[in-house]
């Protein structure tokens, strides 16, 4: 039986510019989380640690950050640590792995420089798939040999996108690689959320990096009893910060109280990065607007970081209620209304008759705002 900790995408040195004046603190929190990972590895008494790519954000990371990362990894001694170069920190001449600061790393840490087998012990083999560039359309795991008569536990370590994931695929990895090559576990990095696809597994980044990530903030403790056995995977939450985006629809004071309760349920505000984009298109309650403004002020005081999108109260376009005065704007409004009715307007407006109705509607609403149309 083998027990190991699987982590990836530490992104040490990320700029975090989207966190505004809190960017420096966001960067510092990653070191706190990395230290928490070290303590967890010791607590769980793991046999080794796998860091499956993107330890660093890029090769321009400053030496102080590299030194601090080395100090953290050195605290794992004597637990073996295997570090894979990813697409953010690929194995290239003059890169971060050639820094004097990295040379201080302990002998218990192995940098997986080559695509080859690395033996942990007689019963466990690691198949490393390091990256040597930022982008590629080639599968980095393609070299891994078939199992044949091998009765060892076989673990692949790679960084890239399984070819069943959405979006543009960089370093595509065959989704059936574990079956093709007889791997008991494929330790992946690159996808920032925790995902399990049979024996191919992403731990997600240990510390969230933005508002869009789902399932980040974890490391995995994995146990495998023997060759062919199903891995037992325990996801352990280690993140220092929580990132949350909310798009509440606000009509009444009750909606705002519900929003406040939802935010409070997210945990300590001192560790919360919050993005709020309220929809007030159906709000006519002045008390609700006043309470929302108060809540915004409270959150600016309480939260670690707040990004508040000023709500755009869309104009209601109805018969007689907000007619635009006669003139050029009125003519444009009539043209847009004609297009929305499915007819071709006269004059120069005919050239816009084939436009997307959603675009035309948005243009008409903006026109009414410009003309001082009534807001809901």
Where are the chain's structural domains? 2-237, 242-308, 314-376
Neighbours of 78 (CB within 10 A): 7
Angle at 357 between CA 353 and CA 359, to 5 degrees: 100
Residues pairing with 223 in the sheet: 3, 232
pLDDT average, residue stretch 170-191: 96
Q: Phi and psi for 315 in degrees, rounded to 5?
A: -70, 145
Contact 190, 155 (CB under 8 A): no
pLDDT average, residue stretch 141-158: 95
Q: How far apart are CA 280 and CA 302, in angstroms?
A: 23
Given a cut of 80, whether residue 342 has pLDDT beyond it is: no
DSSP 52-106: -S-SBS-TT--HHHHHHHHHHHHTTTTS-EEE---SSS---TTSGGGSTTGGG--
Q: How far apart are CA 135 and CA 105, in angstroms?
A: 27
Given a cut of 70, whether residue 168 has pLDDT beyond it is: no
Identify the H or E element spanning 162.
strand 161-162
Residues ≥6 apart with Cβ < 8 Å to 3: 44, 45, 46, 47, 221, 222, 223
Which CATH code for domain 2-237? 3.60.21.10
Could you tell me the CA-to-CA distances from 325 to 274, 302, 329, 361, 363 in Å, in that order?
42, 46, 8, 19, 17
pLDDT at 352: 73
Residues ≥6 apart with Cβ < 8 Å to 110: 80, 81, 82, 83, 118
pLDDT at 261: 96
The residue that leads in pLDDT, 351 or 31, is 31
Mean pLDDT, the chain, rounded, equals 89
pLDDT at 48: 98
Residue 249 carries which DSSP code? B
Residues ≥6 apart with Cβ < 8 Å to 286: none
First-to-last C-alpha distance (Å) of the chain:
65
pLDDT at 316: 44
- What's the pLDDT band for 20 if we cut at 50, 70, 90? confident
| Helix, strand or coil, per DSSP, at residue 48 | strand
Q: What is the largest CA-CA distance in the chain?
A: 87
Q: How far apart are CA 196 and CA 262, in angstroms?
A: 28
pLDDT at 368: 66
pLDDT average, residue stretch 209-231: 94
Is pTM beyond 0.85? Reply is no
Q: pLDDT for 81-127, tens place per residue?
A: 999 999 999 999 999 999 999 999 999 999 999 999 999 999 999 99
- Determine if the peptide bond prior to 78 is cis (ω within 30°): yes
pLDDT at 371: 63
Q: pLDDT for 355-374, tens place per residue?
A: 766 677 667 767 766 665 43
Token pair belonging to 97: 């792995």
- Determine if the peptide bond prior to 121 is cis (ω within 30°): no
Given a cut of 90, whether residue 41 has pLDDT beyond it is: yes
pLDDT at 225: 98
Identify the H or E element spanning 299.
helix 286-302
Q: How far apart are CA 128 and CA 51, in angstroms?
A: 11
- What's the pLDDT band for 344 if we cut at 50, 70, 90? confident
Contact 227, 198 (CB under 8 A): no
pLDDT at 332: 84
Contact 172, 126 (CB under 8 A): no
pLDDT at 318: 47
Q: pLDDT for 67-83, tens place per residue?
A: 999 999 999 999 999 99
Given a cut of 70, whether residue 240 has pLDDT beyond it is: yes
Token pair belonging to 124: 């466990």
Given a cut of 70, whether residue 325 has pLDDT beyond it is: no
């Amino acid at each position: 039986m083998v027990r190991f900790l699987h982590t990836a995408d530490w992104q040490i040195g990320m700029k975090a510019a989207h966190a505004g004046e809190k960017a420096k603190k966001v960067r510092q929190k990653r070191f706190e989380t990395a230290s928490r990972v070290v303590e967890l590895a010791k607590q769980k008494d793991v046999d080794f640690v796998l860091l499956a790519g993107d330890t660093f954000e890029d090769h321009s990371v400053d030496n102080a950050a590299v030194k601090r990362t080395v100090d953290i990894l050195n605290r794992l001694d004597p637990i073996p640590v295997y570090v894979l170069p990813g697409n953010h920190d690929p194995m290239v001449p003059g890169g971060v792995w050639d820094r004097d600061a990295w040379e201080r790393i302990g002998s218990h840490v192995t940098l997986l420089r080559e695509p080859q087998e690395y033996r942990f012990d007689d019963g466990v083999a690691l198949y490393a798939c390091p990256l040597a560039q930022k982008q590629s359309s080639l599968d980095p795991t393609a070299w891994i040999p078939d199992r044949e008569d091998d009765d060892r536990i076989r673990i692949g370590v790679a960084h890239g996108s399984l070819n069943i994931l959405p979006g543009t695929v960089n370093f595509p990895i065959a989704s059936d690689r574990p079956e093709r090559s007889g791997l008991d576990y494929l330790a992946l990095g690159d996808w920032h959320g925790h995902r399990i696809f049979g024996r191919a597994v992403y731990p997600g980044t240990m510390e969230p990096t933005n508002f869009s990530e789902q399932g980040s903030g974890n490391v995995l403790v994995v146990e495998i009893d023997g060759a062919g056995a199903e891995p037992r995977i325990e996801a352990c939450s280690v993140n220092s910060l929580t990132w949350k985006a909310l798009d509440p629809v606000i009509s009444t004071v009750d909606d705002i109280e519900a929003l406040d309760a939802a935010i409070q349920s997210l945990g300590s505000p001192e560790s919360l990065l919050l993005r709020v984009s309220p929809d007030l298109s159906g709000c006519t309650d002045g008390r609700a607007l006043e309470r929302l403004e108060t809540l915004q002020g409270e959150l600016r005081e309480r939260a670690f970081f707040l990004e508040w999108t000023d709500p755009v109260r869309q104009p209601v376009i109805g018969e007689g209620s907000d007619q635009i005065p006669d003139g050029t704007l009125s003519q444009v409004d009539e043209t847009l209304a004609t297009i929305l009715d499915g007819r071709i307007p006269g004059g120069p407006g005919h050239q816009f008759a084939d436009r997307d109705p959603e675009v035309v509607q948005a243009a008409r609403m903006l026109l009414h705002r410009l003309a001082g149309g009534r807001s809901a």
